[in-house]
Structure 1
Amino acid sequence: MKLLVNGTSMDVHSNTLEALLAAQGLRDAKVATAVNGAFVPAAFRATYLLSDGDSVEILAPMQGG
């Protein structure tokens, strides 16, 4: 399946958001996720099914001031 992940087109074999994060090495990372512009809470990632053409954003928290 082809996804747009953080603006980069990718061919992936992951069918859930959680599986995509694991494939990207982010299984235990503290990140925020959105699919097609809609926030997906961590509690729903395991059951959130991805579809061909979805746009996924994975954002890490930043510190600053």
Structure 2
Amino acid sequence: MGIRVEVERDRCEGYGFCEQSAPEVFRLDDEGELEILQAELPDDQCDRAEAAVRLCPVAALRLKR
């Protein structure tokens, strides 16, 4: 069973740490807006997504199991 990634868009400031940690899941577009490329993650990607959530300096990301 995997997890779901969610972003609180009004908190996100586009630092990009999530993209650096898990580029297969997160991407900043040309305007600095976060795109979630893969909202439902398989178990083998959970560790990287959890690291990305921890790295977010404004706590804009969360995971739901």
> Do they fold alike, i.e. is TM over 0.5?
no
Under a length normalisation based on structure 2, what TM-score does the superposition of the two structures give? 0.32
Which one has a bigger Cα radius of gyration? 1
Which fold has the larger relative contact order, with Cα–Cα distance below 8 Å and residues 6 or more apart in sequence? 2
The structure that is strand-richer by fraction is 1
